Structure 1
Amino acid sequence: MKTLVNHIAKAALAGGALLVAAGAHAAGGLDLNLGPDAVQFEAAGEITHGIALGGGVIHSDYREDATIYHAQLLGVQRNRERDVGIGARWTQFDTDYGNGGGLGLGGYGYVYLPQAPAVSLGGYGFYTPGVVTSGDLDDGYEVGVRARYAFTPNVDGYVGLRQAAADFDNRHGNRTLDRGAQVGVRLSF
């Protein structure tokens, strides 16, 4: 538990630094979700209109101890119909199976339902290929789907499913590091 608190504290400090770097005038957000075996914290802020810088951490005890850090730079577009972002992400794996990191690509996309404008459905995915990895990591990915509900203009609650996995170039090979349902809250400002 103490390790988990340390990971969340580090992520919160990194997120705060990202938001300060992004500037007080830019849009930003904080996201926290919990699952049966995992906790995830993310922070992001627009550094200029349409470009968001963010980072986060997942700590999972799905099978063994795994912590996955990421930092990303995305092109984003938000309006009343959709919320999308596409770009690059550095992912760092610190697990009982192996350690390493790499540069990947991916994004997210959500559409708002015209009949229920407070509801949005969508998902995200990021893939790190073996050509741009270091350490024990051969390749890795994180994918998820979510259904979000806007309680207020600045607070969304959501439920979703997530899977994160990595292939290590050691005796452990391909391992699912986190899989399961999650419930979360996202604050926008």
Structure 2
Amino acid sequence: MKTLTRQLALATLVGGALLVTTGAHAASSSLDLNLGPDAVQFEANGELAHGIALGGGVLHSDYRDDATIYHAQLLGVQRNRDRDVGVGARWTQYDTDYGNGGGLGLGGYGYVYLPQMPDVSVGGYGFYTPSVVTSSDLDDGYEVGIRARYSFTPNVDGYVGLRQSAADFDNDRGTRTLDRGAQVGVRLSF
């Protein structure tokens, strides 16, 4: 539990530093926290310039064994009344009982707002790290998820979703699911 507390404190510190760094130039920033039966995830994102977002986060899961997954990403983003879309690169670093390592991947997210219910959006995200750009024990990895979001206020979204994160390490055990399951979360935008 002390390790998890330290990791969340570090993620909060990194997220705060990220937002301070981008704050002078940011068109928008957000903090995101979600919980699942076996996992907790924290993310911070801020726009460096209009349409360019820098972000990072940490996911800690006890789904099967202990796994902590860090990421930093740079995305091109577009938000309007109809959709919220981002595409770009993500560095993912794995610290797990199965192996350790990191790599550069590609992916993004996309949500559409329902015309009949403009406060509701549905969509998902996915990032894949292929073996050609990995380090240490990591062969490849991915994280995918789907979410339904509701805007309680212009600055607060709540959501429910499903997530799966997996990685393949050099230890010949094959791809290991590091986190899978439902999540509930809140995102603050400013």
TM-score (norm: length of structure 2) = 0.98
Structure 2 equivalent of residue 169 of structure 1: 170
In the other structure, the counterpart of 1:21 is 21
Show the counterpart of 1:9.
Answer: 9
Unaligned runs of 5+ in 1: none
Query: Shift in Å at residue 143 of structure 1?
Result: 0.1
Cα RMSD, aligned residues only: 0.7
Give runs of aligned pairs for residues 37-116 of structure 1, distance below 5 A. 37-116=38-117
1:120-135 matched pairs, under 5 angstroms: 120-135=121-136
Deviation (angstroms), 1:171: 3.6
Alignment-mate amino acid for residue 87 of structure 2: I
Whether the aligned pair in 1 keeps the contact of 2:54 and 2:73 (CA below 8 Å) is yes
SS at match of 2:12: helix
Name segments (4+ residues, structure 1) moved above 3 Å.
none
Deviations along 1:96-151, one digit per CA (max 9) or x if unpaired, are: 00000000000000000000000000000000000000010000000000000000
Worse-superposed segment, 103-112 or 17-26? 17-26
Task: Compute the displacement of 1:25 (Å).
Answer: 4.9
Aligned-partner residue type, residue 144 of structure 1? G
Q: Which amino acid aligns with 1:48?
A: A
Q: List per-residue Cα deviations over 1:3-44 (Å, max 9, x = no partner).
A: 111111111111111111112451100000000000000000
Task: Give the distance between the partners of 1:24 and 1:150, measured in 2 at CA.
Answer: 26
Matching residue of 1:153: 154
Say whether the 8 Å CA contact 2:163–2:181 is kept in structure 1.
yes
> 2-side partners of 1:68 and 1:21: how far apart?
23
**TM value normalised by structure 1:** 0.98
SS at match of 1:11: helix
Identity of aligned residues (%): 84
Q: Structure 2 stretches of 5 or more lacking a match?
A: none
